[in-house]
Amino acid sequence: MDRSVHSEQLPDCVSDLQVEIVERKGIGHPDSIIDGACEAVSIALSKYYLGHFDVIFHHNVDKGLLVGGKSQAVFGGGKVRPSRRRPSRTTSEAPCASSTRGSTPESRR
């Protein structure tokens, strides 16, 4: 089996490359699922800010944690069983959460 490696110096513009390698992840990939959820949260938060304060405040909701578990599916319903492995820290225990707890965007202006 012939294994050849193609390398070239990066030009100023990616479109000038002879080969471009791109990683694609489908809609069912865990990264795509959590990215979609984070984007939905950002959009909803932006709409809330606009509706209540007429401005979109800075927010960071680009990181998320998708935790898998088990489910018992039955026709018309089912049960979601909790994961055996749980994150070591919850959002309320995050280092920065206590500094903004109880404050509103208005009080931080």
7-42, pLDDT tens digit by residue? 777 777 877 777 777 788 887 888 888 999 999 999
Whole-number mean pLDDT of the chain? 76
Strand partners, 71: 80
In a domain, 87, yes or no: no
In a domain, 57, yes or no: yes
Count how many domains the chain has: 1
Token pair of 79 as six digits: 């049960």
List, for residues 47-105, the tens digit of each pLDDT value: 999 999 999 999 998 888 887 778 888 888 888 887 666 556 555 544 444 444 444 54
pTM of the full predicted structure?
Answer: 0.47
In a domain, 109, yes or no: no
In a domain, 97, yes or no: no
Closest listed residue to residue 39, CA positions, set 62, 19, 16: 62
Token pair of 96 as six digits: 């920065």
In a domain, 106, yes or no: no
In a domain, 42, yes or no: yes
In a domain, 90, yes or no: no
Q: Range of 50's domain?
A: 26-64
Closest listed residue to residue 92, CA positions, set 82, 102, 84: 102
